[in-house]
């Protein structure tokens, strides 16, 4: 489903070159739940961002459904992100000026759909994460756990095949973290392919496969 070959990411400042990722080769199969672990600054989030086409590698190739994306235009990449991928971020990244329902609708705004069908899909996604009673609230009226559930609803509203979660429980207490993990496990059971960056060994154990990074290099 997602194939990364010889991925390298170099950050260049005025006279310092930092190698964030070095020779990464990963093949994520359809329906897998893969976790990525490693110490802080080892390149986990960079890897996830490259996988989700939010960032470009300095070298190497990415293929989604066996199609290399190097030559894709901005529009093609946007289309792919919109149709195939749903993101969950550690810091939620909700738009504070929009209601919960409007936030969840965002991925559908860039598809051809009617206002009514968008509303219905967003309500359905919020029901799945148990937040149907908060639809008209705004993000700053919610707790951290609730915000992350909104972020999950937004990630799944367009039924993407891939969900990329960057430390989705990082800002939550353990009870809330488990609740979020359970939602992700349910989504995976329903057929979604999930890649999750985590610091929590216990959570990683519940996934199908664990990829470990150290100083930008894949160690397992």
Q: Please, is 162 exposed, middle or buried when counting C-beta atoms within 10 Å of its C-beta (0-12, 13-18, 19+)? A: buried
Q: What is the C-alpha to C-alpha distance for residues 173 and 103, in angstroms, rounded to an integer?
A: 24
C-alpha 178, offset from chain centre: 17
- Smaller CB separation from another protein, 152 or 204: 152
H or E, element range at 213: strand 209-214
What residues have CB less than 8 Å from 173, skipping those under 6 apart? 145
**Which region, judged by CB under 8 A, interacts with another protein, from 20-28, 99-107, 167-175, 182-190?**
99-107
Region binding another protein by CB under 8 A among candidate stretches 58-66, 104-112, 175-183, 203-211: 104-112
Count CA atoms closer than 13 A to 167's CA, side-chain side: 18
* Smallest distance from another protein to CB 157, Å: 9
One symbol per residue from 153 to 172: x for binding another protein (CB under 8 A), - otherwise; what is it? -x------------------
Looking up tokens 């609708």 gives 105
Which listed residue (29, 67, 111, 136) binds another protein by CB under 8 A?
A: 111
Determine if 116 is a binding residue for another protein (CB under 8 A).
no
**In the complex, least distance from residue 17 CB atom to another protein, rounded to whole angstroms:** 18
Contact present, 57 and 26 (Cβ < 8 Å): no
Which residues make up the interface to another protein (CB under 8 A)? Answer: 49, 52, 54-55, 74-75, 78-79, 81-83, 86-87, 89, 91, 93-95, 97-98, 102, 105-107, 109-111, 115, 154
């Amino acid at each position: 489903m997602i194939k990364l070959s010889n991925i390298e990411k170099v950050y260049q400042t005025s006279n310092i070159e930092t190698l964030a990722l070095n020779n990464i080769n990963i093949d994520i199969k359809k329906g897998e739940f893969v976790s990525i672990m490693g110490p802080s600054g080892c390149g986990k989030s960079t890897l996830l961002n490259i996988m989700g086409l939010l960032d470009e590698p300095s070298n190497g190739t990415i293929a989604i459904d066996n199609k290399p994306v190097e030559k894709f235009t901005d529009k093609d990449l946007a289309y792919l992100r919109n149709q195939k991928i749903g993101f969950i971020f550690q810091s939620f990244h909700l738009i504070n000026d929009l209601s919960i329902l409007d936030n969840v609708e965002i991925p559908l705004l860039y598809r051809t759909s009617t206002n009514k069908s968008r509303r219905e899909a967003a309500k359905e996604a919020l029901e799945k994460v148990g937040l149907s009673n908060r639809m008209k609230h705004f993000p700053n009226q919610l707790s951290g756990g609730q915000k992350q559930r909104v972020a999950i609803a937004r990630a799944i509203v367009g039924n993407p095949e891939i969900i990329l979660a960057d430390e989705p429980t990082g800002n939550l207490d353990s009870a809330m973290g488990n609740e979020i993990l359970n939602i992700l496990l349910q989504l995976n059971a329903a057929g979604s392919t999930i890649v999750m960056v985590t610091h929590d060994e216990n959570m990683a154990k519940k996934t199908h496969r664990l990829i470990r990074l150290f100083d930008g290099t894949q160690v397992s």
